[in-house]
Structure 1
Amino acid sequence: MAFIDGADRKVLRWVSLGCIAACAAQGAFATTPGFDVGSANVAVADPVVPRPPGKACVVELFTGFTFTDFSNHPYTYAPPTGCGRSWSKVVLEADFSVTAGRQFDRTASLWLGGANLYFGTTQEPSSSVAPSWHVERDVTDFASLFGNPQTGQAVLGNVVNDTYTGVISGSARLVFYPANVLAPRGDAPDAVFPLSDGTAGGPVTLNTGTDALTRTFTLPTNIERAYLDVFAQGQGGDEFWYSCVPDEVTATAQSCGGGAYREVQVAIDGQPAGVAPVYPWIFTGGIDPYMWRPTTGVQTLNFVPYRVDITPFASLLNDGKPHALSINVTGANGYFAVTGNLFVYLDRGRKVLSGALTANTLKGQSPTASVDNTLTDVSGTVGGAVATHASRSFRTSGYVDTSHGRVATDVAQTVAFRNTQTFTIDATQYRQAIDQVSTVDSTTKTRQGPLGWTVTTEAHYDFPLVATFKYAFDAGGNIVSAPSAVTQGFSRQFSKRVGSLLVYRSNVDNGIDTADTLAFTGGAVTGHSGQHSRQVYRFKDNLGSCYSREIGTDSGVLAAVADANGCAGQRNRLLWFTHPDGSSDTSRTEDPGIF
């Protein structure tokens, strides 16, 4: 036991004292907002961020901003008064709305000190519905940033004119929960380094697979752990990247080129250091806008970043020299908007750490995909499929000698991608069916000292997407109808063990099924029919948290809501330190320094 670090000693003590029951008795659970059945306003099944007990302090970032052009909207921040500098949790809250009329979906992002606090898109309005929506993010990992005055900005480009009339408005605030006996200070990172577009922040455009977002930092020399949170959003020609085919068959398939394989590559000084899958977010104007009213696609309004563990490279970053961190998107074809936040944890007992990178089998493994093409064109009738698949397994390992002994980290991952597109094209129809899934299997083992216990974390991700869209033509070749259907999901299973003892396990599943049929006259949309959708969101852990919400829509309004199916007492309960959105939580439940 002498070689178990402080966080893991707390875990074992916490479990042995039966704090599961104690935490339940605290009543520190999230309250899920209700919705009005029959309403056409935005309704999603996602849970809000769970809150710790105690009185909070609120700092307004901005109120009543209106977005009518592509100018950025700056704001200033000052630390909260009356809440100290020791917080158990910090939550970003934002509220947006758009006036009734015509407007595209727009990308929204919030920044502070150049770091990205929020990334998402907006809901489209209709001529009779002015939608409003609320988003939240646990931003406790940015605590080192919140301790000092900062400047920030809201980036939400919009066009308002005689055609596009929807005016988007927004407000945002930070909510601070001071640490207390029931909710101790979290083990937040000691510093954050933004990978963004300048000191004010902003996403960076990558048009090709060789374009890269690169930022050079001279980092502290006592880094123990390091993580890079990545956002990669397809826009322009890459908005529907999952529907694209290799360039040589674009004419036959009548689809976008560049292929369907997309994956984020992370490098340090040009050396491959990690991989992130690209989530197939669908915006509210995507494919058929009526499918996403009032329930949007998975994470459409509030993207979840993917966390890349680069701790094995800590020894390289600790040499006091400048290091270039870069992000690029394999297959980018005009374009991806990307950003990242580098979080580091420091050794408070030693100013300089030595160590070594002992393995990196990702080096030399190029991100390439195989393509099987069975498309045929016989006298104008096209049929067959284009199947794209890629898979890599790799391992990165390293150690640092800290004030509390040698800490060795081994990260082993298998990332896989599969996309199969089936086409039926003739004089009466154009039909494209997409079946895609990205998966990650990750195991991280951390060992401290020659006799220390091994801490093992395992995570499995699934990003499935099944989509079918069809255009039916009359005898004159005019479009008369376009039925579409989408099934989309996000799944994450996580576990942590200290030796053979299970410390934490959680499961997140978020999925939506939606469909609609557009009607056309003279090439213009004249109506739609059959709109319906069903979103199911479930979260459960081994400490008593349980959340379930299922919502159904019909003809553009909320038709049904069902809560807590499968939860004890038919009650949704989320312990305050959990991350039910599926984001990584290395500072708490994955390395729970709060216990």
Structure 2
Amino acid sequence: MASSTAASASLHRCLLLLLLLLPFAATATVTHRHRLPYHHLASLDVSEPPTTFFEVDRPIRPPRGSLGPCSALLLSHSFGFTYGQPPVTAAYAPPACLAGARGSGSLALAVLEWSADCRGRQFDRIFGVWLSGAELLRSCTAEPRAAGVVWSVSRDVTRYAALLAEPGEIAVYLGNLVDRTYTGVYHANLTLHLYYHPAPPPPQQQADLIVPVSRSLPLDDGQWFAIHNATDAQSKKLSIPSNTYRAVLEVFVSFHSNDEFWYTNPPNEYLEANNMSSVPGNGAFREVIVKINDDIVGAVWPFTVIYTGGFNPLLWRPITGIGSFNLPTYDIDITPFLGKLLNGKEHDFGFAVTNALDVWYIDANLHLWLDHKSEKTTGSLISYDAPALVLNVDTGFSGLDGQFVTSASRHIVVTGSVKSSYGEVTTNFYQRFSYVNSNVFSKNGTVQVVNQTIDAKSGVLAKDASAVLISEEVHRVFPLHVYTGTSDQVGDDYSLISFVKLGVNEKKTSGGKLGFSYSSLRNAQSAHGSMKVKKNLVAGGLGETHEVYKYVGTDGCYFRDVSSKNYTVISDQSGDSCAKKAI
């Protein structure tokens, strides 16, 4: 469900932030924002073939020796006037080949594929896919053109094997609006592709049970929780099976409307000094807090996903922003807290967002591993350290010009033990975050430059008296640079120049009884362009994007270097060699 940002402040202030918050990316309320005008779209040749949009990512390949795919169409629907309507649903029955996999073999890979097309004029829209209440995919639609666009996104959903093996209900919410001006209807197919091992199964990796931490149907919206402000907290009561020995919370996050560009927001004091109460503020830092009862069990400092209409929509055609078609999820291992949860009672699983403005969509899936040899496991919390967030904002401004430097840090460290038929296992989980953001306004507020780095590190160590069972560590760095400047402003007419650099640098290591693995990802995207805006409509412009994706791991390598300009891919090189010259 998306539409536009609720920014109605007058543009005569020339404040760049307001121009950023009026534009184009997936949001949550139905109000005004800049759009491609009718005369611009009408000038396009509708006889042209549709443009294929894509997000650069590593191809999903089935494991060697696996069989398949066996594929099942889960849902086919045209999303027209669906805003504020119930999600589209369809009965889910496990494909026949899953029964065979549960026999002599095992599921090797499950891939959920969303494929869609759209023609005309329309916003980018956020949407979600749920199976029996558990979210499987969160994504943003492509913005169409008169000649049409097509795109697809595939997500590895093997970790939901237990959920896929049971009958249930598929739900898809994509809130769209269609009228005489905004004509685009999203025609979509949702397909499940399964691969399986013919031999006896390898050691168990996926959870035995997946419990959704989401809103239940019926709804006239998605099954996510909506966080509307900094004091809002949403939660769901759940009880944990008494024979649970491991638990991991997978969190889905997306931000919209007044917080779609939260990393560009100035502090409230800047807005108050300039009498700009209608412009979003609350500074340029956000974190998602995850609680169980009164304990902070983890946090999410989210990657700055830029949706397919963000800043200048011409930047993301046909190469979309990192994570825009397949929004990332974030894992929090809550095994150390099982000693407080295995009492047969319901417990509050809740979410809040520091400094939030309207609106954030959050839900989670609770992955549980069960001890089938016993009816009850026991546990205890050994140590827990979660000091308060450290947040500093240095502010200096004169009129509409100024600089705001925000820094933050947090750490959470928790250790607990669980006794089961596998023995007594001690699990340590930690998170360490650091953040710095510099926001500079100049030229009477018509130019804004943002430089930001999020550094997030987490790890899990589980061991018994004799060996390390699980050892995992993930280190992610999210760099971001944004330049936007306006000129030639006369009333609602002006020119906008945008330059955006964003990236994901990630290293993962894991070891223990399942063996050692390692991966390194460097995904860097650079985009720049300009556009002419007339009466809050995009009258023309251009966009160029360059992306370099490099993945190296024990499971293989992948490289892609691709550039586009004005809807056209102008260079594209890729390969899967692990030779140094290829990466």
Q: What CA deviation, in whole Å up to 9, does each residue of 1:290-334 have, x standing for no partner?
A: 111111111101112111111111222222111111111112111
Residues 83 and 542 (structure 1), Cα distance of their counterparts in 2 relative to 1, 3 Å cut: closer
Is 2:262 the partner of 1:244? no
| Structure 2 Cα separation of the partners of residues 196 and 478 of structure 1 | 41
Paired residue for 1:376? 398
Paired residue for 1:88? 108
Greater mean alpha carbon deviation, residues 243-252 or residues 560-569: 560-569
Mapping 1:532-543, distance limit 5 Å: 532-543=544-555
Paired residue for 1:59? 72
Paired residue for 1:489? 503
| Structure 2 Cα separation of the partners of residues 163 and 348 of structure 1 | 58
| Structure 2 Cα separation of the partners of residues 87 and 80 of structure 1 | 12
Q: TM-score, normalised by structure 2?
A: 0.84
Deviation at 1:212, TM superposition (A): 2.1
| Structure 2 Cα separation of the partners of residues 392 and 385 of structure 1 | 24
**Equivalent position to 1:111, from 125, 130, 144:** 130
Whether contact under 8 Å (2:305, 2:321) holds in the other structure is yes
Paired residue for 1:6? none
| Structure 2 Cα separation of the partners of residues 528 and 374 of structure 1 | 34
Whether contact under 8 Å (1:203, 1:337) holds in the other structure is yes
Q: What CA deviation, in whole Å up to 9, does each residue of 1:442-469 have, x standing for no partner?
A: 23221112x3347432210112211110
Greater mean alpha carbon deviation, residues 338-347 or residues 245-254: 245-254
| Structure 1 Cα separation of the partners of residues 481 and 582 of structure 2 | 32
Residues 504 and 161 (structure 1), Cα distance of their counterparts in 2 relative to 1, 3 Å cut: same
| Structure 1 Cα separation of the partners of residues 109 and 204 of structure 2 | 7
| Structure 2 Cα separation of the partners of residues 523 and 197 of structure 1 | 36
Whether contact under 8 Å (1:44, 1:551) holds in the other structure is no
**Equivalent position to 1:131, from 140, 144, 149:** 149
Deviation at 1:288, TM superposition (A): 0.8
Paired residue for 1:144? 162
Paired residue for 1:25? none
Q: Secondary structure at the match of 2:121?
A: coil
**Equivalent position to 1:442, from 450, 454, 458:** 458
Deviation at 1:95, TM superposition (A): 0.5
Mapping 1:468-487, distance limit 5 Å: 468-473=483-488, 479-487=493-501
| Structure 1 Cα separation of the partners of residues 97 and 468 of structure 2 | 41
**Equivalent position to 2:473, from 445, 458, 462:** 458
| Structure 2 Cα separation of the partners of residues 423 and 313 of structure 1 | 45
Deviation at 1:93, TM superposition (A): 1.1
Residues 348 and 68 (structure 1), Cα distance of their counterparts in 2 relative to 1, 3 Å cut: same
**Equivalent position to 2:522, from 505, 509, 513:** 509
Whether contact under 8 Å (1:456, 1:498) holds in the other structure is yes
Is 2:571 the partner of 1:560? yes
Q: Secondary structure at the match of 1:299?
A: coil
Deviation at 1:204, TM superposition (A): 1.5
Q: Secondary structure at the match of 1:316?
A: helix
Residues 83 and 521 (structure 1), Cα distance of their counterparts in 2 relative to 1, 3 Å cut: closer
Q: Structure 1: which 5+ residue stretches go unaligned? A: 1-37, 573-595
Q: Secondary structure at the match of 1:551?
A: strand
Paired residue for 1:432? 448
**Equivalent position to 1:221, from 242, 254, 268:** 242
Whether contact under 8 Å (1:221, 1:320) holds in the other structure is yes
Residues 483 and 204 (structure 1), Cα distance of their counterparts in 2 relative to 1, 3 Å cut: same
| Structure 1 Cα separation of the partners of residues 324 and 203 of structure 2 | 31
Q: Secondary structure at the match of 1:55?
A: strand
Deviation at 1:67, TM superposition (A): 3.4
| Structure 1 Cα separation of the partners of residues 380 and 184 of structure 2 | 55
Deviation at 1:50, TM superposition (A): 2.1
Mapping 1:193-204, distance limit 5 Å: 193-199=211-217, 202-204=223-225
Is 2:317 the partner of 1:293? yes
**Equivalent position to 2:335, from 298, 305, 311:** 311
Residues 243 and 186 (structure 1), Cα distance of their counterparts in 2 relative to 1, 3 Å cut: same
Whether contact under 8 Å (1:460, 1:494) holds in the other structure is yes
Residues 569 and 208 (structure 1), Cα distance of their counterparts in 2 relative to 1, 3 Å cut: closer
Residues 430 and 138 (structure 1), Cα distance of their counterparts in 2 relative to 1, 3 Å cut: same
Deviation at 1:226, TM superposition (A): 0.8
Is 2:195 the partner of 1:180? no
Whether contact under 8 Å (2:128, 2:174) holds in the other structure is yes
Q: Secondary structure at the match of 1:104?
A: coil
Whether contact under 8 Å (1:293, 1:556) holds in the other structure is yes
Amino acid in structure 2 at the alignment position of 1:433: V
| Structure 2 Cα separation of the partners of residues 116 and 521 of structure 1 | 40
Paired residue for 1:422? 440
Deviation at 1:39, TM superposition (A): 8.2
| Structure 1 Cα separation of the partners of residues 340 and 535 of structure 2 | 63
| Structure 1 Cα separation of the partners of residues 412 and 297 of structure 2 | 10
Paired residue for 1:588? none
Paired residue for 1:23? none
Paired residue for 2:61? 50
Deviation at 1:521, TM superposition (A): 5.1
Paired residue for 1:586? none
Paired residue for 2:140? 121
Greater mean alpha carbon deviation, residues 244-253 or residues 382-391: 244-253
Is 2:360 the partner of 1:336? yes
Greater mean alpha carbon deviation, residues 283-292 or residues 178-187: 178-187
Amino acid in structure 2 at the alignment position of 1:271: D
Deviation at 1:473, TM superposition (A): 3.1
Paired residue for 1:205? 226
Greater mean alpha carbon deviation, residues 145-154 or residues 298-307: 145-154
| Structure 2 Cα separation of the partners of residues 522 and 358 of structure 1 | 61
| Structure 1 Cα separation of the partners of residues 479 and 88 of structure 2 | 36
Amino acid in structure 2 at the alignment position of 1:235: H
Q: Secondary structure at the match of 2:281?
A: coil
Paired residue for 2:52? 41
Amino acid in structure 1 at the alignment position of 2:418: V
Greater mean alpha carbon deviation, residues 195-204 or residues 459-468: 195-204
Q: Secondary structure at the match of 2:359?
A: strand
Paired residue for 1:7? none
Deviation at 1:44, TM superposition (A): 3.0
| Structure 1 Cα separation of the partners of residues 523 and 229 of structure 2 | 31
Amino acid in structure 1 at the alignment position of 2:393: V
Residues 284 and 339 (structure 1), Cα distance of their counterparts in 2 relative to 1, 3 Å cut: same
Q: Secondary structure at the match of 1:224?
A: strand
Amino acid in structure 2 at the alignment position of 1:75: A
Amino acid in structure 1 at the alignment position of 2:484: F
Q: Secondary structure at the match of 2:144?
A: coil
| Structure 1 Cα separation of the partners of residues 580 and 437 of structure 2 | 41
Is 2:254 the partner of 1:233? yes
| Structure 1 Cα separation of the partners of residues 566 and 166 of structure 2 | 49
Q: What CA deviation, in whole Å up to 9, does each residue of 1:516-543 have, x standing for no partner?
A: 11124566532113x2111122211135
Whether contact under 8 Å (2:79, 2:174) holds in the other structure is no
Q: TM-score, normalised by structure 1?
A: 0.83
Paired residue for 1:98? 118
| Structure 1 Cα separation of the partners of residues 382 and 549 of structure 2 | 41
Amino acid in structure 2 at the alignment position of 1:118: L
Residues 497 and 90 (structure 1), Cα distance of their counterparts in 2 relative to 1, 3 Å cut: closer
Amino acid in structure 2 at the alignment position of 1:41: T
Q: Secondary structure at the match of 1:374?
A: strand
Q: Secondary structure at the match of 1:314?
A: helix
Deviation at 1:281, TM superposition (A): 1.1
Whether contact under 8 Å (2:435, 2:454) holds in the other structure is yes
Deviation at 1:554, TM superposition (A): 1.3
Paired residue for 1:77? 92
Is 2:549 the partner of 1:527? no
Q: Secondary structure at the match of 2:52?
A: coil
